[in-house]
Structure 1
Amino acid sequence: MAKAMKIAIIDDEMDMRQSISQWLALSGYDTETFASAEDALKGIGPDYPGVVVSDIRMPGMDGMAFLKRLMSQDSALPVIMITGHGDVPMAVEAMRVGAFDFLEKPFDPERMTDLAKRATQRRRLVLDARLLRRELSDGGQIMQKFIGASQPMERLREDILDLGQADGHVLIDGETGTGKTLAAHALHAVGARAAKPFVVVACAAFAEEELGRRLFDGDAEAGLLPAVEQARGGTLCLEDVEALSPQLQARLLTVINDQGTPAETRIVAVSNLQEQGKTSEDALRPDLFYRLAAMRITVPPLRARGEDILQLFTRLSQQFAEEYGCEAPEVTAQEAAQLLQAPWPGNVRQLINVAERAVLQNRRGSGTIASLLMAESDAAEPVMTTEGKPLKEYVEAFERMLIDNTMRRHKGAISAVMDELCLPRRTLNEKMAKYGLQRADYL
């Protein structure tokens, strides 16, 4: 379960900061208050795990100076400015400097909650991306994130390794929740640009004017370089590239054409179109589409990955069990079949959610995986795919999961595994070899 994001509230009026804090705390946020910008700067660093709400008019360092200091140390930090009557022109200037949005006093608390929700969602995406970049400082580590022995995943890993060595621009598409941005990170990490910048811009998160500023214009006064400059020599990843307006598509095409070949900065465009029957080719102007799609990767949906589903579920449930200090749920043969048959419209992201909820259910001693799948589908019965699989595939997938779980539980103690599964040593060794399980991984 995602931890509550922090919200720092800065206002010299005690009643105002306390009322904002109480309201946001009731909405589920972890708040902290500061009476001055100077005090706030002592506790808000470049990777601050949340967002900032600040008054504009304050003694000492005012809100504008405070905003510029925050933007200089972390330009992706969402800052919501609070203005008094008549300060709207100043608030508009704050937006130009980099503020997320502003509220004019007296403001509707529900409006504050809505802004906090959108700002924290954006902040979480930024922090997740930064954490991923730190974790995946080399290509070997990032490739380990692509778990699974299915043919679609083998092909994906091969495509990433092959295209990672090339210099051309890449289009990555696939359904929502499949891990497209992770694939973009991998392309960068396994290639010659790994030591160069990797810059991510979420195109759907900004209005057109703000997106244009972040991508191409920057802000000299605030010391903010445009993304195309920040990524120079490295990779610029454009999430939801289909959200670019025709005008911004034209500017991006100009940037690409001006670079020549090989490109100084590699563009990796991530398409997340979810509308039925629509593709990135429909959303982008043809000349831009063909420049970006010269190399293309399609990340497979979870339902096409076979027994990878059980392997992922096992790994995720064990991780959540460690986090919550409890046991991971035991998966029955029927539940394994249901996991394999579910359509997974939310893909890996949905599987993560189901695994976490399964661990929480197990901690309470109630609930089943089948009930979680029913809740996910909003149906009276678990929704299953229409594509049947041979019984042999279900049996082998469950058998692999059972041996894997037992080996983990006994930390690789072969005798204990043999006793629990009632298997002779030779049979256990043969099955482990068949499923690619190594005793050393459990010690």
Structure 2
Amino acid sequence: MARAMKVAIVDDEADMRQSISQWLALSGFDTETYGSAEEALGAIGPDFPGAIVSDIRMPGMDGMAFLKRLMGMDSSLPVIMITGHGDVPMAVEAMRLGAFDFLEKPFNPDRMTELAKRATQNRRMTLDNRALRKELSDGSTIMKKLIGASPAMERLREDILDLGQADSHVLIDGETGTGKTLVAHALHAVGPRASKKFVTVSCAAWSEDQLAAKLFGPSEDGVPLIEEARGGTLCLEDIEALSHPLQSRLLTVINEQGTPPETRIIAICNEHAPDKTLEDILRSDLYYRLGAMTIVLPPLRLRGEDILTLFTRLSEQFAEEYGCDAPALTAQEAAQLLQAPWPGNVRQLVNIAERAVLQNRRGSGSIASLLMADNEASGPALTTEGKPLKDYVDAFERMLIDNTMRRHKGSIVAVMEELCLPRRTLNEKMAKYGLSRGDYT
């Protein structure tokens, strides 16, 4: 269950702040009260996880001065101002300075609750987006999201580290659901432009005129994206949907930038006909400018044991979110996951893992039924090659040791006892599967 968002109540009248606090607490908010703006400023920082309710008229620092200090600290802090009769012009000025809204005394308590709910929801979204931006600008953090020990994933991580340092434009191709947008973020985060802007736009989400305005201007939203991303990275998703006239305009911009380009372009292809390549879809001069460096993401069905690793990590995350146990895979279920064609790739695996956790919470269902229903819903599936029995046994054994080591935080004795393995055998198997105790402690 999500934690209640905070509401800080600032008012010099003890009865008023106490009544507001009691009412909001009954409405499910986590409240804290302050008798002056100065006292509140000592406790409220730029990442304050909630909203602020403040009276306008207070001795010492008044509400307007308090608001200016808060906006200077973090302009996205939602501040609800309480005004007395005749203070509406002051409230309007407060809105101009950045206040979230205002209430005129005497106010309806339900209206206070409604405003507090909207303000805290707004704050939660702001903080979530801020955390996401911070995460996506941290190269080491984002690279850890590219989970997998398969040769294909090892090569992908090496390619990202190599191409991330370059200035050339990059073309990312691969099947739907393989994580192309995550790779685009990683390319930006590990390179010299990491501190600059990363701007994303889908070429398929807008009409040709709208996309032209957003990319090149004049834009109703302000600065054209080409300008907004200057010095950083412009990520063009669904590049295959870019019309020929806009391809021509984009090529002109690229040619005008020279070498190295002022703005790096990462183009993502999300779908094209099986009998066509991106070279068939884009005009050749643009293709060769964008495709000088290309990354093709591996489909999940070719990533072997990564499938089990990903399923385990995802199911543990969902189990924690839903407050229940993660499903324990049998050898048969592990083989079914490895044999599945995965037409939806990692995105499909995420859905399967979440539903497996929900099934396990209810105590019913199976992995096989989930896979069957999912593949039937997604239409004709790609085929996957069979593997020798030994490969399935090895994959299951590695997953079992990995899961047990993580559950016991690297305690060799506990793992030996649970799996009934002598120490020498466990050491040999860990060496065989590339598992190290230090990864779990």
User: Same-fold call, TM > 0.5?
Assistant: yes
What residue number does 1:165 align with?
165
CA distance in structure 2 between the aligned counterparts of 1:275 and 1:352, rounded to whole angstroms:
25
CA distance in structure 2 between the aligned counterparts of 1:352 and 1:128, rounded to whole angstroms:
21
What residue number does 1:208 align with?
208
Decide which of 433, 436, 439 is 1:438's aligned counterpart.
436
CA distance in structure 2 between the aligned counterparts of 1:243 and 1:384, rounded to whole angstroms:
24
What residue number does 1:412 align with?
410
Secondary structure class of the residue paired with 2:204: helix
* Aligned-pair CA distance for 1:128: 9.0
What residue number does 1:260 align with?
258
Of 299-308 and 389-398, the range deviating more from structure 2: 389-398
What residue number does 2:295 align with?
297
CA distance in structure 1 between the aligned counterparts of 2:354 and 2:374, rounded to whole angstroms:
13
What residue number does 1:187 align with?
187
Give 5+ residue unaligned stretches, structure 2: 1-74, 79-88, 90-94, 101-124
What residue number does 2:387 align with?
389
Q: Assess if the C-alpha contact under 8 Å between 1:241 and 1:270 holds in 2.
A: yes
**Which digits, 9 at most, give the CA deviation of each residue in 1:264-318, with x for residues without a partner?**
1011100012422222112211111111001111011101111000000011011
* Aligned-pair CA distance for 1:136: 2.8
Secondary structure class of the residue paired with 1:331: coil
Report the identity percentage. 73
What is the TM-score of this pair, normalised by structure 1?
Answer: 0.69
Decide which of 358, 361, 370 is 1:360's aligned counterpart.
358
**In 2 relative to 1, CA 129–374 (structure 1 residues): closer, same or farther, beyond 3 Å?**
farther
Q: What value does the CA root-mean-square deviation take over the aligned residues?
A: 3.1
Give 5+ residue unaligned stretches, structure 1: 1-44, 49-59, 61-65, 74-123
What residue number does 2:227 align with?
229
**In 2 relative to 1, CA 238–262 (structure 1 residues): closer, same or farther, beyond 3 Å?**
same
CA distance in structure 1 between the aligned counterparts of 2:334 and 2:157, rounded to whole angstroms:
26
Secondary structure class of the residue paired with 1:238: strand
Q: How does 1:269-280 map to 2 (within 5 A)?
A: 269-280=267-278
* Aligned-pair CA distance for 1:179: 0.6
**In 2 relative to 1, CA 279–412 (structure 1 residues): closer, same or farther, beyond 3 Å?**
same
Q: Assess if the C-alpha contact under 8 Å between 1:302 and 1:309 holds in 2.
A: yes
What residue number does 1:323 align with?
321
What residue number does 1:400 align with?
398
Secondary structure class of the residue paired with 2:186: helix
Q: Which amino acid is the alignment partner of residue 344 of structure 1? A: W
CA distance in structure 1 between the aligned counterparts of 2:381 and 2:343, rounded to whole angstroms:
11
**In 2 relative to 1, CA 383–216 (structure 1 residues): closer, same or farther, beyond 3 Å?**
closer
Q: Assess if the C-alpha contact under 8 Å between 2:301 and 2:384 holds in 1.
A: no
Bigger Rg, which one: 2
Decide which of 407, 420, 423 is 1:422's aligned counterpart.
420
CA distance in structure 1 between the aligned counterparts of 2:427 and 2:76, rounded to whole angstroms:
51
**In 2 relative to 1, CA 359–415 (structure 1 residues): closer, same or farther, beyond 3 Å?**
same
What residue number does 1:156 align with?
156
* Aligned-pair CA distance for 1:416: 2.4
What is the TM-score of this pair, normalised by structure 2?
Answer: 0.69
Secondary structure class of the residue paired with 1:315: helix
Q: Assess if the C-alpha contact under 8 Å between 2:343 and 2:375 holds in 1.
A: no
Q: Assess if the C-alpha contact under 8 Å between 1:374 and 1:383 holds in 2.
A: no
CA distance in structure 1 between the aligned counterparts of 2:218 and 2:297, rounded to whole angstroms:
32
Secondary structure class of the residue paired with 2:193: coil
Secondary structure class of the residue paired with 1:257: helix
**Which digits, 9 at most, give the CA deviation of each residue in 1:85-132, with x for residues without a partner?**
xxxxxxxxxxxxxxxxxxxxxxxxxxxxxxxxxxxxxxx9x9998754
* Aligned-pair CA distance for 1:343: 0.7
* Aligned-pair CA distance for 1:341: 0.8
What residue number does 1:284 align with?
282
* Aligned-pair CA distance for 1:347: 0.4
**Correspondence 1:313 to 2:311:** yes
What residue number does 1:36 align with?
none
Q: Which amino acid is the alignment partner of residue 150 of structure 1? A: S
What residue number does 1:345 align with?
343
**In 2 relative to 1, CA 244–46 (structure 1 residues): closer, same or farther, beyond 3 Å?**
farther
CA distance in structure 2 between the aligned counterparts of 1:397 and 1:47, rounded to whole angstroms:
50
